[in-house]
Amino acid sequence: MARSTRGDAVRIGGNPGLGSWKLVLVVTAVCGGVLSAFPGAAYVALGLGEWSWVLGFLTAWAIIAGALLLGLHLAYGGLVWYPSERAVELRGRRVPVDTITEAWRSLSSNGTATYVVYRFVSTEGPSVRLLVAGRPMKGLDAAGVKALARFVRELPLVVPDARPDVLGDTDAPRLTDRQRAAAVSLTTGGGKSRVGRETLLTELGADEPTDGDHLEPAAPADDEPAYLPPASTRRHRPAGDRVVISAREAARLEREWEADDQHAERMLAADPGRAQTFRRLFFWLTVGSLTVAVIAIVLAIVGEDSSDGLLGSLDDDLVVALIIGPGLLGLLFYIGLCAASDAQLRHVRRLGRRWLDERSRDDPEVQTRGLAASLLAAWVGSALRLRSVLAFLLCLLGSFIVVASVFFFTENSPLGGALCLAIGVALVVVAVLLFLRVQRRKRADAEQLVLLGGWRVLPPEIER
C-alpha cells in the first residue's frame, strides 16, 4: 500500500489486516463460530432467550477480529515519507531520513505461509516493521513496492561488515549482507539478517543501472578467445558485490560448470560411502516393519466380530504384540535410517571440500564458480535428521510424563507427582534447546551453501 497524503508526502505500508480483510473476515468468522458457545451461555444466563447464540457469535467475532487487527497493528506499521523535506514519520514520530542507517530483512516460512519483512531503525530511536510480501496475508502492492524502492534509494544505510557464520567460527570466510540474506532465504523456517541498500533494491527489483552505470551489450567476437580472464578481473557493478559478465563469458561458464559436474560425479562413483548401503537397508526394514503393523491392525479389526479370522483364535495379548512390536521396531529402524542419512550427507560434504581443494589447485576459478551440483546438494539437504527425531521424541516423552504427574497428585502421592513433573519439564526443556541448536545448525549450513555454491547460488548478471 502506497498513497499520497498532504503535499508530497507518501504513505508506505500500514496494517496488513486491512489489505487482507477477506482473509481476516473468514478466519475470525470461523473462530467466532467455534468460540461462540462461551459468550452465548452467558447471554442465556442473562435471560436473552433465542438471541443468545447470535449475540454470542457476534461478541466472539468482534473480540477475535479486534484482537487480530490490534496485534497486526502492533507488529507491523507504516511510514510517511516527505521527499522534499527529507523526513520520514515512523510510528508517529518524525525523524530525518539521514538518521535511518540500519535495515533488517527477515523471512518467515511455515508450510504455505511465507512473509518478508523489512525493519528500518533510526539513530534517534524509533523504528518500524513493514510487511513487504506475504502469503496468505498480503504485503505491499506494486505501487507500494515502487514507493519503497524510491525511499530506500534515499537512505544512507550502513552496509554491515562481513562477519563469520552464526556458530562463531572466526576462521571461516566472512559473508556479505547479500550472502547472509541469501542464507536466510535458504534456511528452513527463515530468519533475519542486517542488509544494505543494494541488497534491498535488488530484491525490490529496482537495481537497474543509471545512465552513468549503463553497460554496453557485448558483441561476440568472430573467434572465441581460448583464455577467459579470472573472475577478479571481470567487470563489476560500481555498487555492491554483484558481478556482470558478457554473454560469451556466460557460455564459457556453462561449459566449465558441466566439466565440474562430470569430474565430481566420477569422484562420487569412486567413493559412494558405506552409509548409503545402510540407509537403503534401514529404509526397507522401516517399511517392512510398519507394513506388518498395519496388516496386523487391519486383520484385528476385521476379525474383531468373527472367530474365523486369521487373528480371531489368537490371544489378545499376542495380537497387541503383533501390532506394537513391529511398530517399535519400525521406530528404531527409522532412527537408524536418520543416522545413516546424516552420515551419508556428512560423507558427501567431506568429498565436496576435498574436491574443491584439489580442483582449485589446477583451476583457482573453481572457488568463484562454486561447488559441483552433485556435491553441493549435500548442503541443500539436512544432516540433522537424527537430532530432530531425538528432540521430538524427548518432547513427546516429557509431555507424557507431565500428564502422568497429574495422576500421582490425584492419588495422594505429591512426592511422586512433583518428581514426574520435574522430570517431564526437564525433558521438554532439553528438547526445546535441542530444537534451537538444530535451527542454528541449519542456518550455518545455509551459509556454507552460499559460500561454497559461489556463482551457482548467487549467479552473475549478463550484459545486455
Task: At 172, list the grid cell.
Answer: 571461516
Q: What is the DSSP string of 72-122?
A: HHHH--EEEEEGGGTEEEETTEEEEGGGEEEEEEEEEEETTEEEEEEEEEE
Under 8 Å between Cβ of 237 and 349:
no
End-to-end CA distance of the chain: 32
Q: Is the pLDDT of residue 215 over 70?
A: no
Task: At 10, list the grid cell.
Answer: 507518501
Flag the least confident range among 96-105, 299-308, 370-379: 299-308
Whole-number mean pLDDT of the chain? Answer: 81
Under 8 Å between Cβ of 159 and 101:
no
- Please name the residue ranges forming H helices in 370-413: 373-380, 385-410
CA nearest 83: which of 155, 156, 145, 9? Answer: 9
**Contacts of residue 24, Cβ cutoff 8 Å, sequence gap at least 6:** 17, 65, 68, 69
pLDDT tens column, 42-92: 888 887 778 888 888 898 899 998 998 898 888 888 889 998 888 999 888
Q: Is the pLDDT of residue 395 over 90?
A: yes
Q: What is the per-residue pLDDT for 148?
A: 92
Q: What is the DSSP string of 16-68?
A: HHHHTHHHHHHHHHHHHHHHTHHHHHHHHHTT-GGGHHHHHHHHHHHHHHHHH
Q: What is the per-residue pLDDT for 221?
A: 39
Q: Is the pLDDT of residue 415 over 90?
A: no
Report field, pTM of the whole predicted structure over 0.75: no
pLDDT tens column, 115-143: 889 999 998 888 999 999 888 888 888 88
- Average pLDDT on 102-122 reads 86
Q: Is the pLDDT of residue 446 over 70?
A: yes
Q: What is the per-residue pLDDT for 234?
A: 43
Task: At 86, list the grid cell.
Answer: 527529507
**Helix/strand/coil for 150:** helix
Q: What is the per-residue pLDDT for 237?
A: 46
Q: Is the pLDDT of residue 210 over 50?
A: no
Please report the sign of the dihedral spanned by the C-alpha atoms of residue 298, residue 302, residue 306, residue 310. negative
| Better-scored residue on pLDDT, 351 or 174 | 351
CA nearest 84: which of 149, 158, 10? Answer: 10
- Average pLDDT on 225-239 reads 41
pLDDT tens column, 309-346: 545 555 566 667 777 888 899 999 999 999 999 999 99
Q: Is the pLDDT of residue 230 over 50?
A: no
353: number of CA atoms within 13 Å, CB side? Answer: 8
Q: What is the DSSP string of 307-360?
A: TTSTTTTS-HHHHHHHHHHHHHHHHHHHHHHHHHHHHHHHHHHHHHHHHHHHHH
| Better-scored residue on pLDDT, 164 or 104 | 104
pLDDT tens column, 45-59: 887 778 888 888 898
Confidence band (pLDDT; 50, 70, 90) for 218? very low
The answer, yes or no, to whether the previous bond of 136 is cis (omega within 30 of 0) is yes
Percent of the chain with pLDDT over 70: 84
Task: At 15, list the grid cell.
Answer: 496494517
Q: What is the per-residue pLDDT for 217?
A: 35
Under 8 Å between Cβ of 138 and 114:
no
pLDDT tens column, 424-437: 999 999 999 999 99
Displacement of CA 420 from its chain's centroid (Å) = 35
d(CA 57, CA 34): 9
